[in-house]
Amino acid sequence: MVCRCGLLTVNKEPVPLKAIEVEVEVKDHVANVLSTLHYENKEDKAIEAVFVFPLSGDAAVCHFSAKIGQTEIVADVKEKQEAREEYDDALSSGQQAFLLEESEQTPDIFSLSVGSLPPGESASIRLEYVTELAVEADGGLRFCLPVVLNPRYQPQGSEGHSVQVTSVPASRVPYSLSFSARVSSPRRVSKVDSNFSLEPLQYLDKEQTHAAVKLAAGHTFDKDIELLIYYKDAHQPAVVVEAGKASAKPGTLMGDAAVMLSVYPEFSQAVMSSFTTKGEFVFLLDRSGSMAGDRINSARDTLLLLLKSLPMGCYFNIYSFGSSFEHIFPKSMEYSEKTMKKALKIVKEMKANLGGTEILQPLNHIYSQPCIPSQPRQLFVLTDGGVGNTKEVTTLVKKNSSSHRCFSFGIGQGASTALIYGLAKEGRGHAQFITGADRMQAKVMQSLEFALQPVVEDISVIWDLPKGVSVTHLSPPLTTLFQGQRSLIYAQLTGQSSEETDGSVMVNYSLAGHPFQSKLGFPLQPTEDTGLTIHRLGARTLIRSLESNEGEKDEEVTKKVVDVSIQSGVSSSFTAFIAINRDSTEAIRGPLLHRSVPGVGKSWSPYARSCGVVASYALHTPYQGASLQMQDMCCLSGRPTNGKRIEGHLKMKQRSIRSSTLGSLFHSRKAKSFSSKEIPVASSIQTTPDTLLQLVSLQNASGCWELNPDLAAALNKTRKEVEQPKPAKVNGNVWATILALVWLHGFKSDAEVEWKLLARKAVSWLLAQNAPCITECVLAGNTLLGCNVQKETLGL
């Protein structure tokens, strides 16, 4: 007997989505992704299906087409309201139509409406997008295919409402997923890792610069698919020139050549050693219900490491938020032993019990606090969710970007890429995602190291081009550079030279008072066929920059976004893809059945991970279903309604509210706070009793450790075993601190990124003591602990 689950048709058959195929082509550090969705209508009436799904917040959708039988329809990009009206008209006329649109509130959510699919008919939807690959701490390039869509929290007072998301266990999803990738680079492809099992990497050439990989058989479609791609000598600056579209008019974005500059700053050791000892460090922690379990435990451990690593003399505060927010101090306090211990005591008691995800309120409060003179503000945001007002949040961060830097962290599957990337981009900081077996501590501590780096100032990019060739920047001005982190700059090259064939670009900046200059030459002729990927990414960069302007509602800005979007074929919040089969020989008559597509998740929690799903209702007007559906999915489209649709909307909302007593958690500031026991969350972040954290918890704010029984226990020794080898002339705290450093280097070298900063503080404390017998202490410590750590390794 076949077990049916999720949403069923009137004939007890699964809903129409049958399979998803994804093909990825990675070229150096950008990717082109082609997804094909296969639908089949097994009912005796025409249906309308709606599929809501996530993409990376940096993705640029650049192609959309549909194939019904032997007929292929390629979608056009049009102004959003115009596209919606055409879709309405097509369905009213009985024509087959497809509408793809980006959410106006958050650019990482798209909705696909498959309208008027005839009985017994099949359809294949092809969706193509381009995206940049993020750089991980170990140098790998991260590609993520989001198949997880968490319900987005809708703050009180915002338009639209959230709706209970329907999901089914992963093992019972009635559609399949296939995934393959091809990788090419000027440098050798060293390896490709994934959070899924992969078939062996296949090299396609002798130089190993081209490779292919795909998912192994038997995978479960239950989480985001991640690839980590490693190249030999990947961190090299480069310039890639791409030819324009032959059919496009010269002088236009798509008709001219486009250029992509990748910048990898490498600062000298002397400059990097001058880490700042000042700053106001503000930590903003998500304590909504979905953070329960291992996530909140890991977050508490991370805050422990952060607080122990802060330099003496800085200022700090810790905020936490859910439906409401809290802060440890009324205002940021100077970092000392007293304030650190008070903060750690409160952190230890923190639980994921603050309800929803109201991030705007604490951000407003933080920005309302006056900045401390000579203490640059550094904001760290840790969250596992998403909100329905992403653009409002990132606009607030941008408005205050001159007074702080923002470092953001997305925790677990389904964290909003638009929110995480947007916070870091607008806040001139850095974004990281913590998924699978990743340790939160390592990634957050890497960003703290960025925050402690001297601020790069006076950044300029100067192009030296032949006479007759001019450059127009598509990227906003570069404002942030971090050691070893890549920055991409896009530009348009107009005109051509009859003589010279080479150009150059120079990046200037200053760091800690020292001027730096990096010059790179490049040929103006395209080096390879990149399939307009750089043009599309450049267009997306320009569109996002225009959309994030404070005058976003300005008609001129909107018109320019629409013009760039239509010209490049790249999606925006003001446009949509519309495809209509006008060659259909017979009009579809009668009411449409509305069907939605079930996704992956846990059916027992409103916080559970879900892939592109909304609840299903039987509706009786050609377009009413999709219209109501999108309004209810956390303000995903903001589509206008007429009087009849409003009446149907109200009835549906009453039915929705009655169906779920937990649904109000997503749109009520006064929602009940749930403890971790009340809301189970399937977190993939693992935490175990940690000897590293046990030792770290004993360090004083000044950087030293005290010689006491707690230290002995952390080193797995008795008090007598620890005290006996101490040289007579050496202070107990000096001896204890050297023991701790030897243990860290001897037993936890693989986690150095987590303790490097607090160890640096300990070394500074030791050097300030002018203590005798340091060499003797290091030798005795090695003997006691069974290590072989050199004095120079410790930095002494």
The candidate with the shortest Cα–Cα distance to 407, out of 422, 385, 391, 390, is 422
Residues with Cβ within 8 Å of 775's Cβ and at least 6 positions away in sequence, in order, are: 791
pLDDT at 120: 82
Determine the CATH number of domain 17-153+175-231+571-666.
Answer: 2.60.40
- Give the DSSP H or E segment for 170: none
Residue 660: count other Cβ atoms within 10 Å of its Cβ. 15
Q: Does 463 or 639 have the greater pLDDT score?
A: 463
Residues with Cβ within 8 Å of 625's Cβ and at least 6 positions away in sequence, in order, are: 48, 50, 592, 594, 617, 619
Q: Using the structure block, give the residue that is written with the tokens 């009453």.
A: 654
pLDDT at 636 over 60: no
Same fold, 17-153+175-231+571-666 and 276-452: no
Phi, psi of 772 (to 5 degrees): -80, 165
Give percent of the chain above pLDDT 70.
76
Distance CA 791, CA 796 (A): 6
Q: Does 281 or 639 have the greater pLDDT score?
A: 281
Distance CA 738, CA 741 (A): 5
Q: Using the structure block, give the residue that is written with the tokens 């958050």.
A: 106
- Pairing between β-strand 189-194 and β-strand 109-117 as defined by DSSP bridges: unpaired
pLDDT at 478 over 60: yes
Least confident of 150-154, 162-166, 264-268, 560-564: 162-166
Phi, psi of 440 (to 5 degrees): -60, -40
pLDDT at 344: 94
Distance CA 170, CA 149 (A): 14
User: What sign for the dihedral angle of Cα 84, 89, 91, 96?
Assistant: negative
Give the CA dihedral 346, 351, 356, 359, nearest 10 degrees.
30
Least confident of 111-125, 512-526, 766-780: 111-125
- Break the chain into its structural domains and give their ranges: 17-153+175-231+571-666, 238-266+456-568, 276-452, 691-785
Distance CA 123, CA 49 (A): 11
- 156 to 111, 393, 674, 735: CA distances (angstroms): 23, 14, 19, 56
The residue length of the chain stands at: 796
SS3 444: helix
Read off the pLDDT of each residue in 573-581 and give the average, rounded to a whole number.
Answer: 90
CATH superfamily, with its number, for domain 276-452: von Willebrand factor, type A domain (3.40.50.410)
Distance CA 701, CA 316 (A): 13
Structure tokens at 29: 């550090």
Residues with Cβ within 8 Å of 570's Cβ and at least 6 positions away in sequence, in order, are: 60, 61, 62, 77, 536, 539, 540, 543, 564
pLDDT at 747 over 70: yes
The candidate with the shortest Cα–Cα distance to 362, out of 402, 398, 405, 317, is 317
Give the confidence band of 653 by pLDDT, cuts at 50, 70, 90: very low
Give the confidence band of 416 by pLDDT, cuts at 50, 70, 90: confident
Enumerate the β-bridge partners of residue 411: 434
The one-letter amino acid code at 671 reads A
- Give the DSSP H or E segment for 746: helix 732-747
Residue 425: count other Cβ atoms within 10 Å of its Cβ. 25
Q: Using the structure block, give the residue that is written with the tokens 């300029």.
A: 460
The candidate with the shortest Cα–Cα distance to 310, out of 692, 706, 701, is 701
Read off the pLDDT of each residue in 454-463 and give the average, rounded to a whole number.
Answer: 84
Distance CA 704, CA 725 (A): 19
Phi, psi of 759 (to 5 degrees): -70, -40
The one-letter amino acid code at 793 reads T
CB 196 within 8 A of CB 626: no
CB 5 within 8 A of CB 87: no
pLDDT at 14 over 80: no
Give percent of the chain above pLDDT 90.
33
Q: Does 438 or 539 have the greater pLDDT score?
A: 539
Q: What architecture does CATH give domain 238-266+456-568?
A: Sandwich (2.60)
Indicate whether this model's pTM tops 0.85: no
Give the confidence band of 271 by pLDDT, cuts at 50, 70, 90: low
CB 196 within 8 A of CB 213: no
Helices (H) and strands (E) in the chain, counts: 18, 34
Residues with Cβ within 8 Å of 111's Cβ and at least 6 positions away in sequence, in order, are: 50, 51, 52, 53, 100, 101, 103, 626, 630, 633, 636, 637
Least confident of 136-140, 671-675, 783-787: 671-675
Q: Using the structure block, give the residue that is written with the tokens 């690839």.
A: 227
Structure tokens at 738: 């050297």
The candidate with the shortest Cα–Cα distance to 504, out of 485, 487, 488, 517, is 517
497, burial (CB in 10 Å: exposed 0-12, middle 13-18, buried 19+): middle
Question: Within the chain, what is the greatest distance between any pair of CA atoms?
Answer: 98
Give the CA dihedral 758, 760, 764, 767, nearest 10 degrees.
120
Give the confidence band of 694 by pLDDT, cuts at 50, 70, 90: very high
SS3 243: coil
Most trustworthy range by pLDDT among 36-45, 126-135, 221-230, 233-242 = 126-135
CB 187 within 8 A of CB 229: no
Give the confidence band of 682 by pLDDT, cuts at 50, 70, 90: very low
pLDDT at 783 over 90: yes
